[in-house]
Structure 1
Amino acid sequence: MDYMSSGMRYIPSDKEWDNDVQFLPAADSNKLEKKRRPGKFGAVIAVVVLAVVIALVIGVLVWHFHFRKDMRVKRMYSGSMRITNRAFDDVYENSTSPEFKALAKQVISQLKTIYSKSPQLSKYYRDSTIQAFSEGSVIAYYLSEFSVPVGQEAAVDNAMSSVETLVKKQRALQNSGDGLTLDDVVTSALDDRMSSPSFRKHTKANLIGHIQSPGFPNKPYPRNTLIKWQLRADPGHVLKLDFGTFDLESSCKSDFVKIYDSLVPIESLLMVELCGKHLPNNRLGFLSSGNVMLVTMATHNSSFPGFRAAVQLHFSQFPKLLPSQNDVRLVPAGKGVKLTFTKFLLAEPGNENMDCNKDYVMVNGKKLCGDKLDKSQQTETSNTNSMTVVFSSDKSRVDRGFSAEYEAIDVQNPCPQKFQCRNSNCIKSELRCDGWNDCGDMSDEQECTCRADSISCKNGLCKPMFWKCDGIDDCGDNTDELNCGCKSAEVTCKNGKCVSEKMRCDGSDDCGDGSDEVNCARDLTYKCKNNKCISKVNPECDGVKDCEDNSDEENCDCGKRAGKASRIVGGQDAEVGEFPWQISLHVKKHSHVCGASLISPDWLVTAAHCVQDEASLKLSQAGAWEIYLGLHRQNQLGSPAEKRNLKQIIPHPNYNSFTFDNDIALMQLDSPVSYTDYIRPICLPSPQHDFPVGEGVTITGWGATREGGSAATVLQKASVRIINQTVCNNLMGGQLTSRMFCAGVLSGGVDACQGDSGGPLTSPSGSRAFLAGVVSWGDGCARRNKPGIYTRVTKFRAWIKEKTGV
């Protein structure tokens, strides 16, 4: 977008055309003339042709408006269900045995009855096939086919998601007899390719089997094919799959290996999807929850070496259907027991409602399940030196389990020199009534007398003063947004400044941040390429033509995801390709030092402090750096990541190394990159782009995961929110300039840190993402009331365009 361009355009006059330019003459004009009018025969031909054209048009219209509504598509669904009133027999493993066929016939009949209970399914159901049976009591794996009218696919998908409910209703009405009793129904839509036959392999104890891509290792795997391996283990065992070699196409949209905790491809039971290259020193290993596993391999139009994996048995890590009970009595008499969960992974399909009717841990009669616990559930205590802990796992799938620590506590004073929460958690006394829910059940924020430096909400809560007048109702009753310092005849600017109401919407930026001129009937908030202004906030790249010259929608191939001194503390692993503009800057002969953002095929934005010389390291020189694009793990620098060197570095000329003001720099690659699923630019905001206070934004990087800690191996992401400028400036001792802004979680625990400097602060806008800030500086990492400070990119938009043309 050329919104910085201005001035008159040069338009040549007629006299300035090159007089030497000549136009070529046409061929012989006589040859181009029509010799005669068509005769009668020609007229007949014309009439016939016209009649045929009219007939074709009528036919197309009739087909479009009548027959097209009857067009149907084949829709396949895979699923599994547990037959609770049958016991598994080895003959069920043989699909040609009479016993297999008889049970399969019963299951297909039952499926037809289930689908008949749904009007949406009964109309389109065609047939089902049974793919396999496995232990527990008996699990049936099936494919169901539907013939669905075009446009009704989503409705059928939704109806299939309710099959479990239909089964429960049928079970409630079912009379005792020879019918099948069904439970644990799981379904998902199926890619048509996945309906192909499978190789079957039963692994025995003390033997190591292997599966590999076709042709491995002598030739690359074939194009446009699908292969499936159904793996089984003996009862009471689980399967372990170890990849020795793995080298596929870098994009999972082309070639992939998927591993399922099942014998048919059910997406809710997908364990992992793999593509790209994985080095032998970083071996891939996967463990099934039961005694079955499905491995699928799909290829498109490319060929790579492929993979080889070892398959072996392990004893099941959990007993099935046998509750395990432990009575903790290892603490002295007169003491109590405190149990704290350090890991908790007890989730499986069918247990999403957290009713804990499948796998669970029960402590003092209280059931816990799922894959996460809130603060109020992490700790359990008893008033005696005895605590009963029961772990129960049913016959179906299992998760990885849990771990917990226990300790002796003084029953009369279980939290010495600390505050005891209602849920028995112990927190530091200074965290009481500080506005943050440290207990997890809000008990530390009730019955409070607020401190002088806190907001006293009318509902009795206390909130930190830095949330006052930031435009967000943090109290819950809007107390923190009342009496914000401006008089009744004044307007409160976003930066905290007060201006007269008369100055609102007068066409002049009286606030200094433009907020008094936003949302006006005559807002002129965006300058188009033709120098005309439009009355709309953030119109660029929103898919709507707002400028007459369409300049607000130019250069919009950015900010799209394919398919989460500074660091990321309190974050989580990003998905592969989730932030394709994220760059890793390596100093040659060293490792990752800073982050950056891709803004075009050959230009990056980073922080100026990253490219300042340090002792013998000439970081201001292009030759000192290696650039990695499309990187996800720091220990996997190969495909799909790409490596580049630098052509030049341009730090901002007004960068101040003492105050970190103007902390921004540009880097030009020595050769452009081609965009892929893993390498794409982020959108640059216009100078007028508004990133409002309170907006949720994302920080990413490979920096340290705690203050003074080591760098992350996998790209980290964390969500923070933009903080009021005046409030943040007070928190940071008045060190902010207008070219900086704050973002963070002021309760602490989430922040950027060493190694994240120069990386992006990403702001979502519709389906795109904009570069709101560059990681710059902070007071430590993830400290309470100490947010991260970021370079405000909108202030440097003209400079970026001047230097890069972007």
Structure 2
Amino acid sequence: MRNSDSNLKYSHRPESMNGFEEVVEFLPATNTKKVEKRGPRRKYVVIGVVLGAALLSLTVGLLVWHFAYRNARVQKMFTGSLRITNYPFIDAYENSTTPEFNQLAEKVTDMLKTLYSGHPDIAPYFSDCSVTAFSEGSVIAYYWAEFAVPAYREEALDKAISELKVQNVNLRRSFLAVDSFESYPIDFQLARKFRDNSCNYFLHAKPGELTKFSSPGFPNSPYPPNTRCQWVLRADVDHIISLKFKTFKMDTCNLPRGDYVKLYDSLSIAEARTMMTLCGSYPPSYNLTFFSSQNVMLITMVSDDKGRQPGFMAEFKQQPSTMLCGGTIRNSEGVITSPFFPGHYPANKECIWDIQVPGNKFVKLRFNMFYLLEPGVPVSSCTKDYVEINNQRYCGEKQPFVVSSNSNKMMVRFRSDQSHTDTGFTAQYVSYDSENPCPDQYTCKSGRCISKERRCDGWNDCIDFSDELNCNCTADQFRCKTSTICKPRFFLCDGVNDCGDSSDEQDCKCPENNFKCANGKCIPNAQKCDKNDNCGDGSDELDCPAEPKTACTELTYKCKNNECISKTNPECDGEKDCADGSDEDADNCNCGKRPYTRKTRIVGGVNADIGEFPWQVSLHTKKDGHTCGASLVSPTILISAAHCFQDMQGTRYSDPSLWTAFLGLHDQKQRTTSKDVVERSIKRIVPHRSFNDYTYDNDIAMLELSSPVTYTDFIQPICIPESSHNFPVGKGIWVTGWGALSEGGSGSVVLQKAEIRVINYNECNKLLDNQLTARMLCAGFVSGGIDACQGDSGGPLSSLESNNKMYLAGIVSWGDGCARRNKPGVYTSVTNMRDWIRQNTGL
């Protein structure tokens, strides 16, 4: 189209859609041969054009693939450190803005560029490098290095970087003597965010002082979302860092994403130097103390877009690095521990103990705590952190165990590598007579000594089962099939795999047309769901088919609209089973929460953790101090045992003014000093009118506080189960209190916990000479050893249910002594007291 036509809306030129056909049709006849000759030639031309286009397309495609895909650049980043031996460390190297820092940093970057430029698998892809920090030793330089490498060359680059060696490097203006060089790949995006983020802090410990730091916003507001922060911690030369987290509460662990804090025994964020990754919530009593191997430590914090938790508060100090471990020991007994136990031992540490006892004795080493766990390392190899004795390595998490020698000498070696530290160990060594290693006791194969009464009792007291081998089962025991161990007959058909091979739960079928109750009893199928408790434990009336209207019985759940449902434990399970939704009522379901998730790593045996049982209450009298326990069920109501408030020996325990309740208490010594503890006087005590001080039947009481308490992380109510709630036989359940640690002994200062079992009512009643009533629940161990005791009375029996809430299953009531064999503890059954609780508390 001509320029003059370019702006025309319409063209006046005639267009023909079949013009070519018209030309061919009207060619003169004399041109026929020419037409025939030209036809085939045109065909070849078309074929050639097509092939050419195909080749061109292929070439273009190959070029596009080569440049756009095969040569597509992958961003890579490495971090690491190198040690410079011909430069002394000066204070100016701590500050990245000083001329001295920049001068040395320039020399290091020149060295790195020189190093990279000399390697064919590295040089073409190098982008940039920089020095981020220096530390003592003589000078350790920490650096970043960036690369852009084609995807198909990525593996070669990684290999080349990992194999780089460097010693002495001649530069244009100086000479660097380097005796070590480390390089580790890191996540490119994460590294760039840390480099570009303004949330960076540089702290140096002051001699004799604690230096505190915290997450952004702590404690007044939650840490912000999408945060990348880091704290560089330093100590003076010849010192190490002691770091302790006083408060740590972040979002639930969702690694590798989510919110977390990482500790590095270095000033670079290299995984190979990671000491620990922390996430979730830790109670204040959990020992979060860490030690560096040198005078620097790096802390990083990452949060996602959902962070809503308070964060952390930490403090650190410096201490001399001359702390010794190991040595020559010539005493007949003593204790050895990993460095700084129960704090986390430092990385890159070795300790050797040369133990030698008097010549006519042998050496026995008993590990009471043993936590040397390295992520990803099987305990069969023990290639990183371990204890080595007699050429045998031990690592991982272990129950108490014993190692013995066949002489008066023993060499113990502890070794930690550069990454991931743990709590460590504590062990007691003793000398013993080889002819009589356990005087008046049974000697386990492992060398451990146990009471002779515990031999062949069905419990693994030796840890290695040697006390339960080659036993003759008594009339009160049965033999497991695989292990051939004798177990109490009480454990047959209780729904718990006690043998490990389920042989105790096999052959438990009832005869044809019979129903098997939860307690093992068999009843005719016709008695199932007939509205009668034929089993004796109510299990025959649970999970019955839905009816248009379920008849209300003591075994059914009653909704607020007075309709009943037969579903087992429907309350607060996340499903609305009642037509009015009352089974999921927020007021009733806002209970049984533990702000601190119970950790399995609590050094200190049976001590409960702070905040682990926030409904536990300590009841004090002016005369006796701690006297009984109780459970918080609302801001103003406590549930306890009626026998605690019976007048006796001239003391009116029924008088509310005599009592003081301490909530949020963990350590009795801190009841007046801890800011987490709340003190309340008692306004009213309502014991059950039918309490029998001879049989202890109806052993329950309600206490009203003088004023409401505010819920905190350390003060929370426990859920009250409905009368239809089922706590099955064999279920693990927690008893807590400050009671006596042994029968006739003194009370505990720190709140104690013990996991026990719900015991079959009928079997327990036999053991206790038919002293149980229908309002009692039996729990403990037939073998003894774990039980509630004096001072625990009135305290909670707490059960963790499938909805992740804790329910008040029982109230500590009575027992035949404490932790005796065949004498389990007896508790007031809260489900059988549900109507009384509702009538007297309104809950």
> How far off its partner does 1:558 sit?
1.6
Match of 2:389 in 1: 363
Aligned-partner SS, 1:549: coil
Are 1:572 and 2:606 matched, yes or no? yes
Q: Is the 8 Å Cα contact of residues 682 and 705 (structure 2) preserved in structure 1?
A: yes
Are 1:548 and 2:584 matched, yes or no? no
**1:596-615 to 2 correspondence within 5 Å?**
596-615=630-649
Match of 1:726 in 2: 762
Give, in whole Å, the separation in 1 of the partners of 2:502 and 2:221.
62
User: Which one-letter code corresponds to 2:276 in the other structure?
Assistant: S
Match of 2:659 in 1: 625
Quote the RMSD (CA, aligned, Å): 5.1
> How far off its partner does 1:787 sit?
2.3
Match of 1:757 in 2: 793
Aligned-partner SS, 2:504: helix
Quick one: structure 1 residues 181 and 675, their matched pair in 2 at CA, closer, same or farther if it must change by over 3 Å? same
Match of 1:712 in 2: 748
Quick one: structure 1 residues 478 and 412, their matched pair in 2 at CA, closer, same or farther if it must change by over 3 Å? same
Q: Is the 8 Å Cα contact of residues 582 and 629 (structure 1) preserved in structure 2?
A: yes
By relative contact order (CA 8 Å, sep 6+), the higher-ranking structure is 1
Match of 1:197 in 2: 200
User: Which one-letter code corresponds to 2:472 in the other structure?
Assistant: T
> How far off its partner does 1:535 sit?
3.4
> How far off its partner does 1:504 sit?
1.7
Quick one: structure 1 residues 228 and 531, their matched pair in 2 at CA, closer, same or farther if it must change by over 3 Å? same
Aligned-partner SS, 1:798: helix
Quick one: structure 1 residues 542 and 318, their matched pair in 2 at CA, closer, same or farther if it must change by over 3 Å? same
Superposed CA deviations along residues 357-405 of structure 1, whole A, max 9, x for unmatched, are: 33432111111234x4324xx2122223333333334566766754544
Give, in whole Å, the separation in 1 of the partners of 2:78 and 2:746.
44
Quick one: structure 1 residues 263 and 342, their matched pair in 2 at CA, closer, same or farther if it must change by over 3 Å? same
> How far off its partner does 1:544 sit?
1.4
Aligned-partner SS, 1:609: helix
User: Which one-letter code corresponds to 1:435 in the other structure?
Assistant: G
Are 1:421 and 2:444 matched, yes or no? yes
Q: Is the 8 Å Cα contact of residues 94 and 133 (structure 2) preserved in structure 1?
A: yes
Aligned-partner SS, 1:198: strand
Match of 1:35 in 2: none
Superposed CA deviations along residues 590-643 of structure 1, whole A, max 9, x for unmatched, are: 532222111122111111112222324322111111112222332333423222
Give, in whole Å, the separation in 2 of the partners of 1:486 and 1:285.
53
Superposed CA deviations along residues 7-28 of structure 1, whole A, max 9, x for unmatched, are: xxxxxxxxxxxxxxxxxxxxxx
Q: Is the 8 Å Cα contact of residues 583 and 595 (structure 1) preserved in structure 2?
A: yes
Match of 1:475 in 2: 499
User: Which one-letter code corresponds to 1:331 in the other structure?
Assistant: P
Superposed CA deviations along residues 88-121 of structure 1, whole A, max 9, x for unmatched, are: 97366443424457768999999xxxxxxxxxxx
Match of 1:442 in 2: 465
> How far off its partner does 1:664 sit?
0.8
Match of 2:409 in 1: 386
Q: Which moved more, 1:358-367 or 1:486-495?
A: 486-495
Are 1:232 and 2:234 matched, yes or no? yes
Give, in whole Å, the separation in 1 of the partners of 2:658 and 2:114.
70
Match of 1:6 in 2: none
Structure 2 residue corresponding to 1:792, chosen from 785, 805, 829? 829
User: Which one-letter code corresponds to 1:362 in the other structure?
Assistant: E
Are 1:505 and 2:536 matched, yes or no? no
> How far off its partner does 1:324 sit?
4.5
Gaps of 5+ in 2: 1-76, 116-126, 147-153, 167-179, 252-260, 327-346, 551-555
Match of 1:515 in 2: 539
Q: Which moved more, 1:476-485 or 1:599-608?
A: 476-485
Give, in whole Å, the separation in 2 of the partners of 1:437 and 1:184.
47
Match of 2:563 in 1: 532
Q: Is the 8 Å Cα contact of residues 89 and 138 (structure 2) preserved in structure 1?
A: no
> How far off its partner does 1:444 sit?
2.7
Give, in whole Å, the separation in 1 of the partners of 2:726 and 2:613.
22
> How far off its partner does 1:331 sit?
2.9
Match of 1:340 in 2: 366
Quick one: structure 1 residues 547 and 414, their matched pair in 2 at CA, closer, same or farther if it must change by over 3 Å? same
Quick one: structure 1 residues 522 and 365, their matched pair in 2 at CA, closer, same or farther if it must change by over 3 Å? same
Give, in whole Å, the separation in 2 of the partners of 1:716 and 1:261.
35
> How far off its partner does 1:684 sit?
1.1
| TM-score for both structures, normalised by structure 2 | 0.66
Give, in whole Å, the separation in 2 of the partners of 1:571 and 1:324.
26
User: Which one-letter code corresponds to 1:562 in the other structure?
Assistant: P
Identity of aligned residues (%): 45
Q: Is the 8 Å Cα contact of residues 230 and 300 (structure 2) preserved in structure 1?
A: yes
Give, in whole Å, the separation in 2 of the partners of 1:339 and 1:195.
51
Match of 1:456 in 2: 479
> How far off its partner does 1:712 sit?
3.2
User: Which one-letter code corresponds to 1:614 in the other structure?
Assistant: M
Q: Is the 8 Å Cα contact of residues 584 and 627 (structure 1) preserved in structure 2?
A: yes
Structure 2 residue corresponding to 1:581, chosen from 615, 622, 626? 615
User: Which one-letter code corresponds to 2:749 in the other structure?
Assistant: T
Aligned-partner SS, 2:450: strand
Match of 1:208 in 2: 208
| TM-score for both structures, normalised by structure 1 | 0.69
Give, in whole Å, the separation in 1 of the partners of 2:456 and 2:156.
48
Give, in whole Å, the separation in 2 of the partners of 1:717 and 1:427.
23
Quick one: structure 1 residues 760 and 100, their matched pair in 2 at CA, closer, same or farther if it must change by over 3 Å? farther
> How far off its partner does 1:495 sit?
4.7
Give, in whole Å, the separation in 1 of the partners of 2:197 and 2:84.
28
> How far off its partner does 1:801 sit?
0.8
> How far off its partner does 1:351 sit?
6.4
User: Which one-letter code corresponds to 1:330 in the other structure?
Assistant: V
Aligned-partner SS, 1:90: coil
Match of 2:67 in 1: none
Quick one: structure 1 residues 724 and 210, their matched pair in 2 at CA, closer, same or farther if it must change by over 3 Å? closer
User: Which one-letter code corresponds to 2:562 in the other structure?
Assistant: N
Q: Is the 8 Å Cα contact of residues 318 and 393 (structure 1) preserved in structure 2?
A: no
User: Which one-letter code corresponds to 2:826 in the other structure?
Assistant: I
What number of residue pairs does the alignment pair up?
662
Structure 2 residue corresponding to 1:769, chosen from 794, 806, 812? 806
**Is the radius of gyration larger for structure 1 or structure 2?**
2
Superposed CA deviations along residues 290-324 of structure 1, whole A, max 9, x for unmatched, are: 334579999x99x9xx9998755463344886755
Aligned-partner SS, 1:775: strand
Give, in whole Å, the separation in 2 of the partners of 1:756 and 1:127.
67
Structure 1 residue corresponding to 2:592, chosen from 540, 556, 559? 559
Q: Is the 8 Å Cα contact of residues 85 and 137 (structure 1) preserved in structure 2?
A: yes
Match of 2:64 in 1: none
Q: Is the 8 Å Cα contact of residues 642 and 688 (structure 2) preserved in structure 1?
A: yes
Aligned-partner SS, 2:726: coil
Give, in whole Å, the separation in 1 of the partners of 2:686 and 2:611.
28
Gaps of 5+ in 1: 1-78, 111-125, 146-165, 215-219, 279-283
User: Which one-letter code corresponds to 1:237 in the other structure?
Assistant: H
User: Which one-letter code corresponds to 2:594 in the other structure?
Assistant: R
Quick one: structure 1 residues 107 and 772, their matched pair in 2 at CA, closer, same or farther if it must change by over 3 Å? farther
Aligned-partner SS, 2:649: coil
Quick one: structure 1 residues 642 and 323, their matched pair in 2 at CA, closer, same or farther if it must change by over 3 Å? closer
Q: Which moved more, 1:646-655 or 1:187-196?
A: 187-196
Give, in whole Å, the separation in 1 of the partners of 2:382 and 2:654.
59
Aligned-partner SS, 1:315: coil
Aligned-partner SS, 2:540: helix
User: Which one-letter code corresponds to 1:90 in the other structure?
Assistant: F
Q: Which moved more, 1:710-719 or 1:288-297?
A: 288-297
Q: Which moved more, 1:696-705 or 1:101-110?
A: 101-110
Give, in whole Å, the separation in 2 of the partners of 1:571 and 1:406.
19
Q: Is the 8 Å Cα contact of residues 702 and 712 (structure 1) preserved in structure 2?
A: yes
Give, in whole Å, the separation in 1 of the partners of 2:536 and 2:426.
55
Give, in whole Å, the separation in 2 of the partners of 1:602 and 1:647.
10
**1:47-446 to 2 correspondence within 5 Å?**
83=81, 90=89, 93-96=94-97, 97-98=101-102, 99-100=104-105, 132=133, 134=135, 174-178=162-166, 180-182=181-183, 196-203=199-206, 207-209=207-209, 211=211, 230-234=232-236, 236-239=238-241, 268=276, 288-290=291-293, 291-292=295-296, 313=320, 315-318=322-325, 323-333=350-360, 335-344=361-370, 346=372, 355-370=381-396, 372-375=397-400, 378-394=401-417, 402-411=425-434, 414-415=437-438, 418-446=441-469
Quick one: structure 1 residues 383 and 448, their matched pair in 2 at CA, closer, same or farther if it must change by over 3 Å? same
Superposed CA deviations along residues 54-99 of structure 1, whole A, max 9, x for unmatched, are: xxxxxxxxxxxxxxxxxxxxxxxxx998758877973664434244
> How far off its partner does 1:548 sit?
0.9
Q: Is the 8 Å Cα contact of residues 325 and 352 (structure 2) preserved in structure 1?
A: no
> How far off its partner does 1:131 sit?
6.1
Give, in whole Å, the separation in 2 of the partners of 1:168 and 1:654.
83
Aligned-partner SS, 1:726: helix
Quick one: structure 1 residues 391 and 171, their matched pair in 2 at CA, closer, same or farther if it must change by over 3 Å? farther
